[in-house]
Structure formats: structure tokens, C-alpha cells
Amino acid sequence: MDESFQFRSALQGDTAAFADLIRQHQAMVFSIALHYLQDRALAEDIAQEVFLELYQKIRTIESEKHLLCWLRRVAANRCIDQGRRKKTRRETDLDSLPEPASQGGHSDPLLSERLRQTLSLLPEKQRMMVILRYQEDLGPAEIADLLKMPVNTVKSTLHRTLEELRKKLVHKIGEVRYALF
Amino acid sequence: MHFSEDDLRAALKRQDPGEGFAQRVMARVNQAESAPEKPPRRVWFLRLRPALVAVAAVLLLVIGLVVGYQQEQVAQQARARKAEQQAVLALRIANAKLNRVFERVNQRQTVPKVQRESL
């Protein structure tokens, strides 16, 4: 089905089109929550709530671009709220991790896992910035708009966060040096 | 062990929640839609709550102002009564003094006459 037609149909209350809209964006919303909370069940719950809220507010969505932006913003805010409530800093369950083959070719699954674990040790906003930057490939301006922060703050925080990530990773693995970017 | 931005991108690659996610969301949507609405009385109360708080605040302010004004009036009246009493007392003292002066003046005027007559 054509995406814009699907969006218009969902806007008019077509539940089948809305279900297609969910399928189209579920990986994005779920992954933001999963990478932020490091808890598959909680991430699924948050993602469901985001789409539930979308269903209630679908009439306020003006375009597909707006929809994408709205989904990211609501997912980010819900994750930050949830993180504040539960302060989830737990280690990832190995069973919940995807198989190395699903990581896509050349990447090191062990390094990926270490990076995700270390990311979960970062403060809330910094963690979300890294997710939006490297999962969603958003620029500093888009992240600033999404998290309602000045662009320069986002740039400096991202830079600082990567440094922090490097230090934490070195500390976590116990190796002396890592080359970063 | 080195890592780059691409490693970070690979670590944060999107993952699918799995089969049936959309159905589970739609089930929750249907459940939310079929759930009975909250009793209107509570909704009314919740809607009116900010207005009630505002009315109560205004009412308290008005009562405070009225009570303050009344207390100020009472204090003013008490001050006026005290000033009046002091003025009356001052007049009485002045009256007494004047009476004495008059008496003395009268005495001075009458005594030489008597003395002259007796001579």
C-alpha cells in the first residue's frame, strides 16, 4: 500500500491502515526504547503505549514527516520518564540479545554488546542523544528540536558523551587504550 | 579493541519487536475503546477543580480584606475615642485653671474696696 495513502487512511480512522502504520514504524519506536531501557519487555510496553497515544492523537498529525518526528519525540520522552522512575541500569540478559548474524555483516557482536551495556550507564539525556544520533542518524539540530535544547548544547554534550563512553568502556573492559573516532 | 562511529551505529541498529506487535497494539486500542467511560460526575469534578480552587482563593482574599478593613475601622474608632477623652480632660484642666485665675482677680479687685471702706 502507498505510504501517503496509508497515512491518510489511518488519519480517517481506518484501523487496518493504522495497523500498517504501526508495522512501518514499530522497529524505530521499539529500538529507541530497547536501546534506552535495555529491557525488552519494558521496551515493548513503552512502544505499545506510544502507538496507543498515536491512535488517540492521530488527528493532530499533519504529515508523515510530522508523524516521524512525533513518534521519536513521544518515544524519547516516555523512555526518559520511565528511566527516571525505575533508574534501570541493569545488565542485558544474554538471551534477549540478537544473534550475531543479525547484526549485519562486518560488525563485532561482542563490541556491540559492550557498547550497548556502556551506553546504559550514561545519564538520561546523554543516552537519548547518542541513540537519536547513531540509531536514527539525526543531526544535532534535529536532536535539539526533539529534546527542546539549544543546538550548541547538543553538540557539546554529544562530544562530551562520546568521551565519557570511551572512558567508561575502557574502565569496563579493563583495557588501557581505545581509539575513538 | 577499537571502535568507530560505524560500530556505534551497528550496536544501535534498529531491531524489530517481532511478529504480532501491531496486533497486540490493536488489541490494546480495541480494549481502550471498549472500556466503559468514567462516570461523568468525576469528570465534571476534575474539570471544575481548578475553577473551584480559583473561586476559593478569591473568596479567601475577599474575606481577608473585609476582616482587615473592619479591624482597621475598630482601631481607628478606639484611637478617636482616646483622643476625644484626652481633649475633654485638657479642656477640664484649662477650665479649672481659668476659674482659679478669675477667683484671684476677683479677690484682688474686692479686697482694697473693703479696706478703703473700713478706713
Per-residue pLDDT averaged across B91-101, rounded? 95
Flag whether residue B19 sits within 8 Å of chain A, measured between CB atoms. Answer: no
The contacts of residue A89 (CB under 8 Å, 6+ apart) are: A120, A121
Q: What pLDDT, on the 0 to 100 scale, is given for residue B116?
A: 58
Enumerate the H helices of A12-150 as residue ranges: 15-37, 40-57, 64-86, 109-119, 124-134, 140-147
Enumerate the H helices of chain B as residue ranges: 5-11, 21-34, 40-118
Q: pLDDT tens digits for B2-24?
A: 668 888 899 999 999 988 999 99
Per-residue pLDDT averaged across B68-83, rounded? 96
Give me the residue spans of the domains in chain B.
Answer: 22-118
- Residue in B with minimal Cα distance to A24: B22
Coil/strand/helix, residue A180: strand
Q: pLDDT tens digits for A40-91?
A: 999 999 999 999 999 999 989 888 899 999 999 999 999 999 988 876 444 4
Q: What pLDDT, on the 0 to 100 scale, is given for residue A156?
A: 95
The answer to whether the CB atoms of B28 and A52 lie below 8 A apart is: yes
Q: Would you tell me which residues 28-67 of chain B have a C-beta closer than 8 angstroms to some C-beta of chain A?
A: 28-29, 32
d(CA A141, CA A152): 9
The answer to whether the CB atoms of B22 and A22 lie below 8 A apart is: yes
Residue-range domains of chain A with CATH:
1-89 (1.10.1740.10), 106-181 (1.10.10.10)
- A170/B51: higher pLDDT: B51
The answer to whether the CB atoms of A115 and B8 lie below 8 A apart is: yes
Q: What pLDDT, on the 0 to 100 scale, is given for residue A155?
A: 94
Amino acid at A83: G
Q: What pLDDT, on the 0 to 100 scale, is given for residue A167?
A: 82
- A2/B31: higher pLDDT: B31
Average pLDDT per block of 10 residues along chain A, 181 residues long = 75 87 94 94 94 92 91 94 71 44 59 87 91 94 94 94 84 52 47
Of A80-84, B56-60, B115-119, which one has max mean pLDDT? B56-60
Interface A-B: count of C-beta contacts within 8 A: 102
Residue pair A50/A94 in contact (Cβ under 8 Å)? The answer is no
Q: What is the dihedral of CA B104, B109, B115, B116, to 10 degrees?
A: 170
